[in-house]
Structure 1
Amino acid sequence: MVSNNQLFHLFLFLCFFQITCLHAQLCTQQQTSALLQFKQQFSFYKYADYGSCDSVGILSYPKMESWKEGSDCCSWDGVKCDNNTSQVIGLDLSCSWLNGTIHPNSTIFNYFPHLQRLNLAFNDFGMSRISSEFSRFTRLTHLNLSCSSFSGKVPIEVSFLSKLVSLDLSYNFGLRLEEPGFELLVQNLTKVRELNLRDVNISSVVSNSLLNLTSLRHLDLSECRLLGKFPDGIFHLPHLNELSIFGNLALTGYFPEFINSSSPLQYLDLSYTNFSGELPDSIGNLKSLKALKAYDCKFYGSIPTSLGNLTEMTDLFTGMLPSSLSNLGNLVHLGVWGNNFEGKIADFLPNVKSLLYLHVESNSFSGPFPSLGANLTKLVYLDLSNNQLRGPLPSQIIGLPNLTWLGLGDNLINGTIPSWVFSLPALGYFNLSNNKLTGHVKEFKSTHLTVVDLSNNSLHGRFPSSTFKLVNLSSLILSSNNFSGELDMLCHAISLQILVLSSNSFNGSIPRCLGNFSIYFYVLDLRKNNFSGTIPDTFAKENYFETINLDSNGFEGPVPKSLENCQMLQVLDLGHNKFSDKFPYWLGNLTSLQVLVLRSNKFHGPILNSKFKFPFPNLRVMDLSNNYFTGPLPRKYFKNLNAMMNVDEASFELQYLGTPSPSASIYYYNDCLTMVIKGSILEMAKVLTIFTAIDLSKNNFEGEIPQIIGKLNSIRGLNLSHNSLTGHIPASLANLTMLEWLDLSSNKLTGEIPQQLRNFKSLAVLNLSQNQLIGPIPQGNQFDTFSNDSYIDNLALCGPPLLNACNPRTPQPPPLMFQQEDNTSSGFNWEVILPGYICGLVWGLVMGYFMFSRGNLSGL
């Protein structure tokens, strides 16, 4: 039995233990107050991390909300205290929705001398500077300020934190580490094991002091604008297992020799640098290497056969791939995309059970599709696209139960699609576009399909309706084949985002369910088919349509008024149909609309002034040609086409109109456009966002060309031909300095060609034929390149390139754009010579000139 004395001692021990525990849990009042004051500096914004926490799998929530007055700060979320001293030794406020600024006088710098770990990653500190006061944390071993919107110069005082074993300043795109900051940093942080400066602007040569960091395990200097030659010795640091210098375009170097097999390197990324030379055979000594990346470098030569010792490779280099690659028995990931490799894939494809990913797209591989064999049962990703593979696909392949990605597009594969392709149970991405395939498409076994692209082949017949019922299907691209049938099954495609059926033989009408796709549908491309009937007036509010292209079908009736609900719409092409309607003025309320094509229909009546104050503010292309529009040209619309005015093209990044797949960056739809350009009908497979043009030709417009059209100084093409326009050619057209083609032919224009138009520098095609123009043709610049065809069938034009010379006494118009009338500047004494010119040609020219000059002043 336990004696009373023993029980008493046990009781004392428990009391002492409890008192000790309570003491260890209590945070000092000073530190509690300091943390609460620190909390007051911020507001909580859910998206302060811009979604980064979710992308890396870290839970995002406002940790500071648990910080309350009167409670023990050691129990607060994100706070860690020393069990013996109750001092705060750790603060983890990563992904805490913090939005605000850390001021140099913040309480956090004054009352936490024992702090060892500080993590402020994935917040938004409003591009504030990193304070030099961080140097007060002299015991700090881990500092993480990554992805938190810091900017400015990294203070030199950070290098005084000599006990740091981990420093992460990555993904703060406004940070810079100026000399001698980088040198001091690597000189003083001799204990550091993890150093991540990705995206910090260093802009200097790589410090040789890095060679002294013998404890370094992880080094990331990606996109730091490093210069000069990268020191070979860094590759040989005794504990280094991850090294990335990705994206330093001016960084040079050679792949080092690895004499022994003791290197712990597992991950090596040299992509987008200026590394060059051969890969040494000693690379095979990197027994631990799992990932080798070298996109867009300047390596050359064959891949050493010793690579067979690597456990995993993700990227190789330019040069020839030897068949000895088939000896890589442990290979998991082979990626050689975007190089210049040649030969047959079957010559090097490793016959190993461990292979998961095979990236060989965008090379010059030829020969037949390889026989994958039954051993590749783990294969998940297979992309052989954009090569020169020939012949049919194998009629039978056993296995591939895990294959989710099959990319065979842009090759020379012919024959039919074998049954094993449709039977792949896990297939999610399927691309056989741009080949020479024939035959029918069978039903897919996989229910996971997200993208199906069979475009640009010779497939025919009815497309299996069951495909439209796949709940995950987001992109279906069948263009340029000979598929047929109706679209009733479209109503089952509840997740469809991109539907491209152009250049086929589909027929029937569009089902009324079309407009109900208010959440997912982005692109509807049905051009060049045999569809007919009216367009359902069922477009729901708050839909996400960006492109609707129905060109070259048999649609009729009015334009559905519910299209006004498509506020995201950028491209609307209804050309070459049988629509019969007045001009749908309400489309002017679509503020995102950039391309409007109504050409070759039965639209009629005048284009009245818009009921909207600023119609079509972003319209870049307007094609209303070959209809039955009447009345004057739409002056108010010209006045508000802001996207055709004062465009600074130098500030524009070269982009095409199009729509990425919203679910993932696995498919991108490029808008196309058919239009009369420089006198010829052209189909643009891609449309630059800086392309601007107006085509109102082949209608019944009348009246004068408004001066206001001269404000569209960023327009590249203007076609007003085959109308009944009268009056003079406005001199304000000379403001259209970007103009590449101008067609005013087949109208009733009178007067002279304004001499100001000779200032055109980009004009390649001019057609003023079949009008009533008179007087001298402007000379110089682009006008010296135009032939007689530009001027035929006018009343009395003269001068080159025509054979009839101008009367030397004919007065020349003043050179200025909008010169005022000046009756004394012509050099003529009207009281003396007027009677002799009343019936003469010169009198007509002079009067035409002065009428035109008045028009310049009053027509604006």
Structure 2
Amino acid sequence: MGSSLWEFFSVRYIILLLLINAACCFSFVQTQTLCHDDERSALLQFKASFTINKSASQDPFAYPKVAYWGRLEGDPPRSNCCSWDGVECSHDSGHVIGLDLASSYLHGSINSNSSLFQLVQLQRLDLSDNNFSYSQVPSRLGHDLTSLTYLNLSMSSFSGQIPSEISYLSKLSALDLSSTYKSHLKMTNFGSLVQNLTNIKQLHLSLVEIGSTVPNTLVNVSSLTSLRLQACNLEGQFPVGIFHLPNLQVLDLAYNSYLTGYFPEELNKSSPLKILILQSTNFSGHLPASIGDLPALNLLNIAFCRFYPHIPSSLSNLTQLNFLGLSSFFSNDGTLSGQVTDSWSWVGKLTRLNNLFLADTNLRGDFPCFLANLTQLVELDLHYNKITGEIPCFLANLKQLSILTLRQNQITGQIPSCLGQTHLTALDAGLNNLQGTIPRSLFELRNLEVFYLDSNNLSGYVEFDEFSKLGKLRGLDLSNNKFSVHIKTRFSGFPPKLQILGLGSCNLTEFPEFLKFSSELTYLDLYFNNLHGQIPKWMWNSAGETLLYLDLFHNHLTGFEENPVIIPWPRLIFLQLGSNMLRGSLPIPGPSMAVYFVSNNEYAGEIPATFCNAGDLYVLDLSSNNLNGMIPQCFENLRALKILKLQNNSFHGDIPRIGSNRCLNLEAIDLSYNQLQGKLPRSIANCSGLVFLNLGNNQISDTFPSWLGTLQQLKVLILRSNAFHGIIGKPASSHEFPELSIIDLSSNDFSSMLPSDYLENWNAMKSVDANEQIYIQYGITYGNFYYSYNYAITVFSKGGELKYFKTPYLLRVVDFSSNRFHGEIPGIIGNLRGLHLLNLSNNTLTGLIPSSLGNLSDLESLDLSQNHLSGKIPSDLAQLTFLAYFNVTHNRLSGSIPQGGQFDTFQEDMYQGNSGLCGKPLPKKCEESESTTPQTSSFEQDEDSGFQIELDWFVVLPGVVAGLIVGVVGGDFWTTKKHDWFIETFSRKRQPRGIRHKRGLRT
């Protein structure tokens, strides 16, 4: 019985196994034969419409998935499309339901006739990270593939308008159309898209040009788990309700500078939010304490926002945080409340942090000791703060630390040798006060890729071959120190992948010959050395295909070894050859050139008309050469031009109609010190962003260009020493020249009364704002390069010229001297309380000196000489404590000279030609009736003691006066020149460039 039962169950078991095996075999055979012929044919046609190009995908693990599709007709697995790489079929129907060709090296385009649209059962489509040749996203996606639940076309070089038909894909749970800066994808139907995608979980549209508000309907999409809208040019207010979505894990709104918003007061404690990125938006308000209650948050980046300067201590509760970005996140109205580094001790509790960005947060005091607790740190960015003291050795205990950025602080002392015990791949300590030599231990950092020590006080004798030990080095900058760098003859052992090299002001006498072997060099800075002779030909042979930036400023170069007609580096973006001895004809900039400097050389001849074929020039500086002829008319077609400097040459003829062909970008024009004639072209009024216009010292014959008053950004207008003439009438409105800070109409032939109506309009001169900007400057970004331009001007004061290589932002100047202005000085001029220089000399002004000039509390130079003014010098002027220069010679003034204050410092020759004046410093004493009691002291009654306390006037002696006019031009402009340059070198995607520092470690 037992044996029979066992045999029965054994047989049943064997039969069951056979049935299962048969079913599996049947299933396998069925799977292998599921492919539909029409879909197989469609896939092969789709494959045939592309070429395989390895440059089409950027993923290092990319491979050509379609390469073996249908290769072996006799092999069933090869001929069955369901077995092909990237193809997924339905087990029930055999139809193709999934196509994953991400990172497959596909190059070509998808047109409306593509066989892709025959796969009407598709549910998942991923074509990301390919190159579709900037073709448009086909509208048939929305018409024919309506079963799609997943669509990913990101980073695949589509361009143009995203078709509205995409919104027909109502079953989508994931949509990724994220673009690149080059693709220029646009979407105008964001609202209708969101309205139809009611089941969406992942919506990624980064770098798609949306240009609208975020629709409120997103607040109702409770299924949403990830929303990425980075750099979409969003505007308006972000719907605050999105923060309360129950399933939201990722919110990325970075780089939408016009997007406003704020945090809700209470955030959901059960929120699954893991990633929150608001970097470089216009979010404001305060950070609620409840932000510390988000239990899953591991990435928080609110850098470069406008939040109130207070950080809740509850952030220390975010123990899962591994990325924290607070760089420059505070409002422009204040600075961070924990300014001293000790106030940031709570950061030391976030022990899981991998990335910490505290750049530009006003950290001050000694190096933050709380960082010693963050043993998991991989990247630390503290640049642009006020950290003092020395670099501590506890950094050597942070064994994971790879990237360390300390740029632009006030760190002193020597570079500690203990840094040689770290595992750094990038060290940026530029723009500090470091001293001593480079420790030899740093040459043991064999993984070091980026090494920046520029703009410190480091000294010593540097044997350059030491750097050959750093075999992975890609970026090195030693510029602007006190080094003497010695490069051995025929030294060739430098790392072959070197891309960035800065050896400015390093006492070099020859071009480093090892550069012959640097085939990947993109940035070369050899400014302010002692390089002589010609630029060798091998310079453009070795790095000809890669060089983007070249600075040879202030050497002793005379030309090129072989004079090129066109600059020989085809990809060069930035070229600085200024302040050398270059001669001959101007080399023509290449098609990629954006910044072209050849100022202060000996170039001669005319500007070739082929300059206008040079592509998108942003900056053109040909100043201070021996150039002549006419400025080419085609200059009016340089649409991208932002800065045009042609001063100090011998150009003649009419000024081209600059601005006649789109002039939205132009910010500065300097054509001074030439021989230009004719009228000022009215087309300049089209340059709505113009800040600086200098046409001084030419032969321009025209009336006052009142039409320039429509330029709302214009700060500097210099028309000195031309043939401008006629009257200056009334402005067309009360909004003319609202930002004008410096106006120089001197040495022309204006013949009206002083333009009191214009003086009333010049609001920028009525007060001095609290702007942080030190100089009037403009920064342009081109690719990874940042260029900061400082405007240079010359003003006439103290009887001579004052040259500003950098025009102070707060400087206020009115110079109407040497014209034929007549009538009285309007009292309204006393409203221009921000004025530093007022020159009305050499006119035919009459009447009294208005006492309202005593309101100009910042005035440093006042010249009223060579007029017909009469009456007394107002005693109110004695209260101008900054007045360092005062000239009223050759008028008809009378009475006593005010005493006290700055008037005790003025010499006799400042009053000559006024026979009626008396009193010090003149030898003529005042009669009793003319004299007034000098106000040299005042008395206050001490109520407690009954005694009088004498308060002597504080007399400021010449040379002691502080201000913008006197002594402002001291110092060497060019020794600080490199502080105004910036280049991105360590390519990253997380952190934005900062415009106030020279170089960062990421894009």
TM-score bin, normalised by smaller chain: 0.7 to 0.9
Q: Secondary structure at the match of 1:666?
A: strand
CA 1:53–1:770 in 2, change beyond 3 Å: closer, same or farther? farther
Unaligned runs of 5+ in 2: 1-17, 31-90, 93-123, 125-177, 206-220, 331-335, 936-1003
Q: Which residue of 1 aligns with 2:403?
A: 291
Q: Secondary structure at the match of 1:638?
A: helix
Q: Which residue of 2 aligns with 1:212?
A: none
Q: Which residue of 2 aligns with 1:536?
A: 656
Q: Which residue of 1 aligns with 2:832?
A: 712
CA 1:394–1:178 in 2, change beyond 3 Å: closer, same or farther? closer
Q: Which digits, 9 at most, give the CA deviation of each residue in 1:114-160, with x for residues without a partner? A: x48354654898433335351244xx373536447665565555555
Q: Which residue of 2 aligns with 1:313?
A: 426
- The CA distance in 2 between the partners of 1:281 and 1:403, in whole Å, is 35
- The CA distance in 1 between the partners of 2:309 and 2:894, in whole Å, is 66
From 439, 463, 467, the equivalent of 1:322 is: 439
Q: Which residue of 1 aligns with 2:607?
A: 487
Contact (CA 8 Å) 2:716, 2:743: kept in 1 or not?
Answer: yes
Residue 583 (structure 2) pairs with residue 460 (structure 1): yes
- The CA distance in 2 between the partners of 1:571 and 1:752, in whole Å, is 38
From 228, 244, 250, the equivalent of 2:342 is: 228
- The CA distance in 2 between the partners of 1:765 and 1:775, in whole Å, is 20
CA 1:224–1:63 in 2, change beyond 3 Å: closer, same or farther? farther
Amino acid at match of 2:481: N
Q: Which residue of 1 aligns with 2:683?
A: 562
- The CA distance in 2 between the partners of 1:325 and 1:125, in whole Å, is 44
Contact (CA 8 Å) 1:305, 1:322: kept in 2 or not?
Answer: no
Q: Which digits, 9 at most, give the CA deviation of each residue in 1:211-260, with x for residues without a partner? A: xxxxxxxxxxx9975742988996996x765455555624755789999x
Residue 418 (structure 2) pairs with residue 418 (structure 1): no
Contact (CA 8 Å) 2:393, 2:419: kept in 1 or not?
Answer: no
Contact (CA 8 Å) 2:323, 2:354: kept in 1 or not?
Answer: no
Residue 693 (structure 2) pairs with residue 693 (structure 1): no
CA 1:720–1:92 in 2, change beyond 3 Å: closer, same or farther? same
Q: Which residue of 1 aligns with 2:872?
A: 752
Q: Which residue of 2 aligns with 1:639?
A: 760
Contact (CA 8 Å) 1:502, 1:525: kept in 2 or not?
Answer: yes
CA 1:199–1:500 in 2, change beyond 3 Å: closer, same or farther? closer
Q: Which residue of 2 aligns with 1:166?
A: 298
Moved more, 563-572 or 122-131: 122-131
Residue 490 (structure 2) pairs with residue 358 (structure 1): no
Q: Which residue of 2 aligns with 1:656?
A: 775
Q: CA deviation at 1:458?
A: 2.3
- The CA distance in 1 between the partners of 2:736 and 2:328, in whole Å, is 45
Q: Secondary structure at the match of 1:438?
A: strand
Q: Which residue of 2 aligns with 1:770?
A: 890
Q: CA deviation at 1:613?
A: 5.0
Residue 701 (structure 2) pairs with residue 589 (structure 1): no
- The CA distance in 1 between the partners of 2:350 and 2:776, in whole Å, is 48
Amino acid at match of 1:433: F
Contact (CA 8 Å) 1:230, 1:253: kept in 2 or not?
Answer: no
CA 1:63–1:314 in 2, change beyond 3 Å: closer, same or farther? farther
From 238, 251, 267, the equivalent of 2:379 is: 267
Amino acid at match of 2:426: M
Q: Secondary structure at the match of 2:437?
A: coil
Q: Which residue of 2 aligns with 1:842?
A: none
Q: CA deviation at 1:559?
A: 2.1
Contact (CA 8 Å) 2:324, 2:353: kept in 1 or not?
Answer: no
Amino acid at match of 1:660: G
Amino acid at match of 1:313: A
Contact (CA 8 Å) 1:66, 1:77: kept in 2 or not?
Answer: no
Q: Which residue of 2 aligns with 1:824?
A: none
- The CA distance in 1 between the partners of 2:348 and 2:275, in whole Å, is 23
Amino acid at match of 1:598: L
For these two proteins, the number of residue pairs brought into alignment is: 731
Q: CA deviation at 1:579?
A: 1.9
Q: CA deviation at 1:278?
A: 6.0
- The CA distance in 1 between the partners of 2:757 and 2:370, in whole Å, is 68
Q: Which residue of 1 aligns with 2:927?
A: 807
Moved more, 604-613 or 738-747: 604-613
Q: Which residue of 1 aligns with 2:333?
A: none
Amino acid at match of 2:860: E
Contact (CA 8 Å) 1:548, 1:572: kept in 2 or not?
Answer: yes
CA 1:775–1:368 in 2, change beyond 3 Å: closer, same or farther? same
Q: Secondary structure at the match of 1:349?
A: helix
Q: Secondary structure at the match of 2:468?
A: coil
Q: Which residue of 1 aligns with 2:152?
A: none
Q: Secondary structure at the match of 1:784?
A: helix
Q: Which residue of 1 aligns with 2:136?
A: none
Contact (CA 8 Å) 1:602, 1:628: kept in 2 or not?
Answer: yes
Q: CA deviation at 1:653?
A: 1.8
Q: Which residue of 1 aligns with 2:956?
A: none
- The CA distance in 2 between the partners of 1:422 and 1:741, in whole Å, is 52
- The CA distance in 2 between the partners of 1:150 and 1:560, in whole Å, is 43
CA 1:462–1:330 in 2, change beyond 3 Å: closer, same or farther? same
Equivalent positions of 1:43-82 (< 5 A) are 66=193, 73=199, 77=203
- The CA distance in 2 between the partners of 1:327 and 1:226, in whole Å, is 34
Q: Which digits, 9 at most, give the CA deviation of each residue in 1:4-37, with x for residues without a partner? A: x989x999xx99xxxxxxxxx9xxxxxxxxxxxx
- The CA distance in 2 between the partners of 1:453 and 1:440, in whole Å, is 14
Unaligned runs of 5+ in 1: 16-24, 26-51, 80-86, 203-221, 816-860
- The CA distance in 2 between the partners of 1:652 and 1:452, in whole Å, is 32
- The CA distance in 2 between the partners of 1:156 and 1:537, in whole Å, is 58
- The CA distance in 2 between the partners of 1:100 and 1:784, in whole Å, is 59
Contact (CA 8 Å) 1:396, 1:420: kept in 2 or not?
Answer: no
Q: Secondary structure at the match of 2:806?
A: coil
- The CA distance in 1 between the partners of 2:236 and 2:830, in whole Å, is 48
Q: Which digits, 9 at most, give the CA deviation of each residue in 1:536-564, with x for residues without a partner? A: 23531530322111111111222223223
Q: CA deviation at 1:179?
A: 6.2
From 402, 406, 418, the equivalent of 2:520 is: 402
Q: CA deviation at 1:527?
A: 0.8
Q: Which residue of 1 aligns with 2:950?
A: none
- The CA distance in 1 between the partners of 2:711 and 2:366, in whole Å, is 51
Q: CA deviation at 1:512?
A: 0.7
- The CA distance in 2 between the partners of 1:233 and 1:128, in whole Å, is 23
Q: Secondary structure at the match of 2:925?
A: coil
Q: Which residue of 1 aligns with 2:154?
A: none
Contact (CA 8 Å) 1:500, 1:526: kept in 2 or not?
Answer: yes
Q: CA deviation at 1:99?
A: 6.0
Amino acid at match of 1:461: G
Q: CA deviation at 1:338?
A: 3.7
Moved more, 538-547 or 295-304: 295-304
- The CA distance in 1 between the partners of 2:912 and 2:412, in whole Å, is 61
Equivalent positions of 1:164-203 (< 5 A) are 164=296, 166=298, 168=300, 170-171=302-303, 173-174=306-307, 181-182=314-315, 185-186=317-318, 189=319, 192=320, 194=322, 196=324, 198=326
- The CA distance in 2 between the partners of 1:564 and 1:257, in whole Å, is 54
Q: Which residue of 1 aligns with 2:509?
A: 391
- The CA distance in 1 between the partners of 2:347 and 2:729, in whole Å, is 75
Q: Which digits, 9 at most, give the CA deviation of each residue in 1:55-98, with x for residues without a partner? A: 899999788855557x873777589xxxxxxx988611232869
Q: Which digits, 9 at most, give the CA deviation of each residue in 1:386-436, with x for residues without a partner? A: x33232224574221111111122344444322222332211111111333
From 414, 417, 421, the equivalent of 1:304 is: 417
Contact (CA 8 Å) 2:342, 2:368: kept in 1 or not?
Answer: no
CA 1:242–1:158 in 2, change beyond 3 Å: closer, same or farther? closer
From 793, 798, 801, the equivalent of 1:678 is: 798
